[in-house]
Amino acid sequence: LSKRQLLGFVFQDFQLFPHLSVLENLTISPVKMNGMSQVEADKKARALLERLGLEGHEGAFPYSLSGGQKQRVALARAMMIDPEIIGYDEPTSALDPALRLEVEKLILQNKELGMTQIVVTHDLTFAENIADELLTFEPK
C-alpha cells in the first residue's frame, strides 16, 4: 500500500465473509479498495497466516474454522492494510480459557512490534494482562 490506513478492526463476531476462503477474506479489501496487486496481497496474506499459525488454512471457509482460528483470520485481515491502530471489540467473548490465552498472546506479540491497539472488553483480568493503560467506564 502506498499509504497506511488509520484503523483496522477485529469485530466480536469476526465478520468474515462466509462464501470466501480465508485467503480471499484477507485479500479482497486491499485489492479492491486499496489497489494492491493480487500477487502482492496473496504474498502478504500468506505471511500473516504463517505468523498467526494458520498456514495451510488458506483455502478453508469460515464455517470450518474454530473460534480461535476465526479470531486470528479476523486479526490478519485487519493487519492486511498496515493500520496505525487495531481496535478489538470483546476479543475474548465466548472463547474458552485456552483460546483466551491465545488471543492474549497475539495482542502481546503486536504490542512487542510497536502496534497501537485499543481493546474493549468486560474481561478485566485479560485487560490487566495486556494493557499499558487501563480505562474503566461505569454506566450512569
pTM above 0.75, yes or no: yes
Task: Provide the pLDDT for residue 12.
Answer: 85
Residues above pLDDT 90, as percent of the chain: 64
pLDDT tens, residue by residue, 4-36:
578 999 998 899 999 999 999 999 999 998 899
Please give the grid coordinates belonging to residue 49. Answer: 497466516
Domains of the chain: 7-130 (3.40.50.300)
Give me the chain's average pLDDT, please. Answer: 90
Q: Cα(125)–Cα(107) distance, rounded to whole angstroms? A: 14
Task: Provide the pLDDT for residue 2.
Answer: 46
pLDDT tens, residue by residue, 54-63:
999 999 999 9
Q: Cα(48)–Cα(77) distance, rounded to whole angstroms? A: 9
* Nearest alpha carbon to residue 80 among 113, 40, 114: 40
User: Sheet holding 85-89: strands in order across?
Assistant: 7-10, 85-89, 116-120
Banded model confidence at residue 92, pLDDT cuts 50, 70, 90: confident
Task: Provide the pLDDT for residue 4.
Answer: 57
Banded model confidence at residue 49, pLDDT cuts 50, 70, 90: very high
Banded model confidence at residue 1, pLDDT cuts 50, 70, 90: very low
Section 89-106 average pLDDT: 83
